[in-house]
């Protein structure tokens, strides 16, 4: 839609193969989510959760990153982002100009978890976190894992 263009300055491997260590990681995250969801008084997720959308993103040093955006509505439950290396800023914001930015710890080795539609009964446009990546000084390598309802 006009006015919703987003700067995207990175290389991507998509779909990344869910094999070896990446398969073990996805399996572990799914198991933790299933266990927590089953033990909760009120389930956090409203449907089966499978990390069937895996992307590896490489941002070059001095990359413009990715502008403020929401992940597609077809991604449900939770979004996991793991930074493997580099230095950048992952932030949540209030609008598409990046106002009210709050930094999310995405230092290498950290797991960032963003809510998506279907988490705690939320749905619609505002159930998706408006977020961006900027200040890519040393480059950045990250893995994103999502549950895509269209797969």
* pLDDT, tens digit (0-9, with 9 covering 90-100), for 16-35: 999 999 999 999 999 999 99
Residue 1 located in a structural domain: no
* pLDDT, tens digit (0-9, with 9 covering 90-100), for 67-116: 999 999 999 999 999 999 999 999 999 999 999 999 999 999 999 999 99
pTM, full prediction: 0.94
CB 49 within 8 A of CB 145: no
Total number of domains constituting the chain:
1
Residue 66 located in a structural domain: yes
Give me the pLDDT at residue 62, please.
96
Cα–Cα distance, 6 to 87 (Å, whole number): 21
CA angle 83, 84, 89 (to 5 degrees): 35
Q: For residue 32, give the H/E element and its range.
A: helix 20-39
Name the token pair of 42: 């009120």
With H, G, I as helix, E, B as strand and everything else as coil, classify residue 124.
coil
Residue 38 located in a structural domain: yes
Cα–Cα distance, 24 to 21 (Å, whole number): 5
* Domain that residue 54 falls in: 10-148
> What is the CATH number for 86?
2.60.120.620
* pLDDT, tens digit (0-9, with 9 covering 90-100), for 91-100: 999 999 999 9
């Amino acid at each position: 839609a006009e006015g919703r263009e987003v700067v995207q300055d990175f290389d991507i491997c998509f779909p990344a193969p869910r094999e070896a260590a990446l398969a073990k990681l996805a399996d572990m995250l799914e198991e933790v989510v299933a266990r927590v969801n089953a033990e909760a008084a009120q389930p956090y997720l409203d449907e089966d959760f499978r990390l069937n959308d895996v992307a590896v993103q490489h941002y070059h040093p001095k990359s413009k990153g990715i502008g403020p955006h929401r992940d597609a509505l077809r991604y449900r439950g939770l979004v996991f982002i793991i930074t493997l290396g580099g230095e950048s800023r992952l932030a949540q914001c209030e609008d598409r100009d990046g106002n009210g930015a709050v930094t999310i710890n995405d230092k290498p080795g950290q797991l960032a978890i963003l809510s998506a539609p279907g988490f705690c009964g939320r749905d619609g446009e505002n159930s998706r976190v408006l977020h961006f990546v900027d200040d890519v000084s040393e480059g950045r390598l990250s893995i994103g894992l999502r549950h895509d309802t269209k797969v």
